[in-house]
Amino acid sequence: MTSNIVVVGSLNMDFVVMVNHLPAPGETVLGRDFQMIPGGKGANQACAAGKLGSGAVATRMLGRVGYDVFADHLKASLAAAGVDVSAVHATRSQPTGVALIWVDKDGQNSIVVASGANHALTASEIQGHRASFRGAGLALFQLETPLDAVAAALALAREEGARTMLDPAPAQPLPRDLLERVDILTPNESEACILLSRRVSRVTPAEAPALAAELLRLGPKAVILKLGEQGCYYCDGQAAIHSPAFQVAVRDTTAAGDTFNAGLAVAIAEGKNIGEALRFANAAAAISVTRLGAQASIPSRAEVEAFLNRPR
């Protein structure tokens, strides 16, 4: 079974610097190993879907860039992964988005995003992209583009029969009418807490069922809590699955969540059951955290299959 995937979201050029520790307010730290790597949560998910789908699942990206050299690099990176970039349009009102990323010795990161052209994706333009959703099985969304554009695209995807998946990042409270258009909501621990207007805290697998049940009451049809090294927890009000993480040496967690979402989408598009899809997504994310950068860290389909089939 194959199905088209449409990703609506951001495209950024990431400027990544390795540091011994993340700087405190007012602190200057010396960095090393600077790299300029294609990123943006939307583009990361599209790139990962292209790589992990390996030609069997067609992926299209819908977003905005500026008229600059970064735009050329970002589109070329997606095209190299097999992604259709015909719906990635340039705007003269803003430069291409950028992200400034610091990564510490434990693989944790701190990110500042200047959205630029990503904010030029407007709700009024979305209706003109109806053809991009036609025939799609899944549509993936994040929150690095204007919220009214995300809401409009969610509605359009639903009208065209696509199953919708929302990664609610960067974290923010969301209106119920938007969440009711979401088939699969995929927050991490902090995003889940912010959606529920509670203090951010770590969530154990034992606490995940209650938290997922609260999130379901906000409107989505299913919830997947991403719990980092503890794996993920799926709940749709009937089925509930805890899928453990694979233990690996973490170098950089940038784009791990995006790789997970794309892996999940590809597996679902191929007809895998939810347990198999979660395991495939966990494996893809596990490989990504062993590497530096966003799109540069995303594994190929062959790498994920070899990882899943390795001797234990």
Backbone angles phi, psi at 163, to 5 degrees: -80, 135
- Distance CA(38)–CA(61), nearest Å, equals 14
- Distance CA(48)–CA(37), nearest Å, equals 14
- Distance CA(227)–CA(251), nearest Å, equals 17
- Distance CA(289)–CA(106), nearest Å, equals 11
- Provide Rg for the chain, Cα atoms: 18
Q: Catalytic residue at 258? A: yes
DSSP H/E element including 60 = strand 59-65
Helices and strands per DSSP (H, E), number in the chain: 11, 13
Token pair 């749709």 is found at 236
User: Six-digit token pair at 49?
Assistant: 């879907």
- Distance CA(276)–CA(259), nearest Å, equals 16
Give me the catalytic one of 84, 183, 252, 258: 258
- Distance CA(232)–CA(245), nearest Å, equals 7
User: Could you please report the per-residue DSSP string of 77-125?
Assistant: HHHHTTEEEEEEEE-SSSPPEEEEEEE-TTS-EEEEEE-GGGGG--HHH
Question: Is-contact 11 291, C-beta < 8 A?
Answer: no
Question: Is-contact 232 187, C-beta < 8 A?
Answer: no
DSSP H/E element including 67 = none
User: Six-digit token pair at 21?
Assistant: 């520790």
**Catalytic machinery residues:** 258
